[in-house]
Amino acid sequence: MNFPAFLPLLAGALLLAQPPAATAANPPAAPAATPAKAAISRIDPTFWWVGMKNPKLQLLVHGPGIGSSTVALRYAGVTLDGVQKLESPDYLIVNLTISPAAQPGKLNLEFQGTRKVKYSYELRARTTPGDKTKVQGVTSADFVYLLMPDRFANGDPKNDNIKGMRAPAVARDSMYARHGGDLKGVEQHFDYLKELGVTAIWPTPVVENDMPKASYHGYALTDYYNVDRRYGTNEDYVRFVRNAHQSGLKVIHDVVLNHMGSKNYLFLEQPAADWFHQWPSFTRSNFRDAAFNDPYAADSDRKLYGDGWFDTTMPDLNQANPLVATYVIQNFIWWVEYTGLDGYRIDTYPYSDRNFLMQWGEAVASEFPQLGMFGETWVQGNGQQAFFARNILPPVNGFKSNLPGVTDFQSQYAINEALTKDAGWTDGIAKLYYALQGDWMYEDPMRNVVFLDNHDLSRFYSVIGEDLAKYKMGLAWLLTTRGIPQLYYGTEVLMKNYSNPDGLVREDFPGGWASDTKNYFTAAGRTGPAGEAFSYVSKLANYRKTHPALHSGKLMQFIPQDGVYAYFRYSDAGTVMVLMNSNKDEKPVDMSRFAERLNGFSTATEVTSGATLANLKSVQLPARTAWVLELKK
């Protein structure tokens, strides 16, 4: 969610939302200490585990007047390292060390203030170590399906309206209201996703977003430790992940490090002013990621980029505060151990504090080395994008990224230009070549996520002028180039529209609601071009799944000539050649140019059509066509 392009989707919603109860200019005043009994409203993390690699645990305790309490405990293997008072008298930090000898059970904490209060804190046994069905990771062998749960399918109408939530009503005629989709709705269509060839599901954030307006997208979280009740319960999410795994599908959890929603209890009643970036009046980020590593950047530009807020309703976290950093790190370790999810997509990755990013990445990877992780890097230029992934570049301003992969916006820009502009020396289809030429900077570019569109961008089918031939070229590239392919929900059935001005790129998937007149989840409902598109994606995605050369093999590309781009994916298991003609006319292709990869092969089968190519010396490549050729000796 990069704000400049995302702004049209928020028009009339977040930007026009009612101002938060407290703003950066006027943070809420700390309430006076309560002399009465100190009741505990919650402790974060809500529970923890024995046997974690990091034995340290920071508890954030919240309750009226709890900050004046002393703490005592007796539990074998657990040591109280001390407490820390905060600005607000209603918070207290409790620091523990959980030794390897500690056993699961109930840890009784005694808080002594005006009166004694006992709290039974649960320590659980870990389940992820040794269980190969959990935390499977995300690799280039996967095909990721990005969906917005609220807009995909309504599996449980009973959770549409939740009493007490700030925006409880469902209004499908409003793009900024809740529409009623939920976890159960997604789960009911696991078979559809498997038929399509999908191996991993990426829902936009499922944690609570109890905001008055535009809460459906999930990027303004109001509770770090609870699933939004309109999607289901925490237990429902655990079952969702387990059932996905049993169905052969992985789950990627979308997380936000940089900010939260203004109705989060941590902002409504701030533990301390330095938990957030405070300004004399509301100050928005300049959204200029170049300031992060510009050697000539003004300090004011760099500060505005990292410390400015995304919006009036999205308070910016001060991750340079070690208490905040630990709170966030523990939360995202908690979700992995609790659910067994397989990967993290990190929203607005470059906006966070640089030292925190390195600390967060190291802490999560230390506990779960197999976890897949990729960050949103909506930036310009190969070098800038590589800077935010594990790379061969020197550190800049003390930052050296440890993030395995990124969302590959550079190749996304390139495929869109390849299909909408005429070929030139560096223009049109040549952009694809140069996008991948920059891979020398990455530790492993195969960990990058390639895509055609997403929830913040105009839909691919609209961008290419609703041209089915160009559509097939784009999908052929997506499923044969290097990296982890990601498809945005509905792209497979030609859903269309633009992000500006009305945000219709987030329409409901046809058939996800009982009242829908169209149902694209069924073959009978996918008539005409939508059915043709689905079949094309399904055939190529399922082929990719069973042919390691396409998802794990090496890549060799040839400099585009005369509007034709050729590249190979190859391994000991086989070789696939991809030929793309971006021209309006048929083009002859002299195949002798590719002899170093064609040597030893005599024929080929075009994967999507089944046609045989008997002559590999010279071919006539139809206009605006991509051939995916399985080479044969």
DSSP-based three-state secondary structure for 571: strand
pLDDT score at 169: 85
What is the rounded CA–CA span in Å between residue 568 and residue 554? Answer: 8
Q: Edge-to-edge strand order for the sheet containing 91-98?
A: 42-44, 56-62, 91-98, 78-85
Which tokens is 322 given?
């070690």
Task: Write down the catalytic residue from 254, 376, 408, 453.
Answer: 376
Which tokens is 412 given?
């996304």
Strand pairing category for 372-375 and 343-347: parallel
Query: Is 376 one of the catalytic residues?
Result: yes
pLDDT score at 502: 66
Task: Write down the catalytic residue from 347, 367, 408, 492.
Answer: 347
Q: How far is CA 133 from CA 138, 339, 380, in A?
A: 13, 11, 38
The phi, psi pair for 145, rounded to 5°, reads -115, 110
Considering the domain 134-258+319-549 in this protein, what is its CATH number? 3.20.20.80
Domains 42-125 and 554-632 share a fold: yes
- The gap between the terminal CA atoms of the chain, to the nearest Å, is 47
pLDDT score at 38: 52
pLDDT score at 547: 97
Burial tier of 137 (Cβ tally within 10 Å: 0-12, 13-18, 19+): middle
User: Residue written as tokens 């995909």?
Assistant: 152
Q: Are 142 and 484 in contact, with CB atoms under 8 Å apart? A: yes
Entry field: residues in the chain: 633
Query: Is 347 one of the catalytic residues?
Result: yes
**Domain with residues 42-125, CATH architecture:** Sandwich (2.60)
Regions in the chain scoring below 50 on pLDDT: 3-37
Does the domain made of 554-632 have the CATH classification 3.60.20.10?
A: no
Q: Give the domain ranges of the chain.
A: 42-125, 134-258+319-549, 554-632
Nearest 10 degrees: Cα torsion 6, 11, 13, 17: 110
- Element containing residue 201 per DSSP (H, E): strand 200-203
What is the rounded CA–CA span in Å between residue 2 and residue 311? Answer: 12
Q: Are 523 and 537 in contact, with CB atoms under 8 Å apart? A: no
Q: List own/partner pairs for 616-621 with CB under 8 A and 24 or more apart.
A: 616/591, 617/591, 617/592, 618/588, 618/589, 618/590, 618/591, 619/579, 619/588, 619/589, 619/591, 620/586, 620/587, 620/588, 620/589, 621/564, 621/579, 621/581, 621/586, 621/587, 621/588, 621/589
What is the rounded CA–CA span in Å between residue 183 and residue 156? Answer: 9
**559-574 residues labelled b (16+ CB within 10 A) or e (exposed):** ebeebbbbbbbbeeee
What is the rounded CA–CA span in Å between residue 21 and residue 78? Answer: 39
For 504-561, the three-class secondary structure string (H helix, E strand, C coil) is HHHCCCCCCCCCCCCCCCCCCCCCCHHHHHHHHHHHHHHHHHHCHHHHHCEEEEEEEE
Question: Hey, which bits of 212-268 come out as E strands?
Answer: 223-227, 250-256
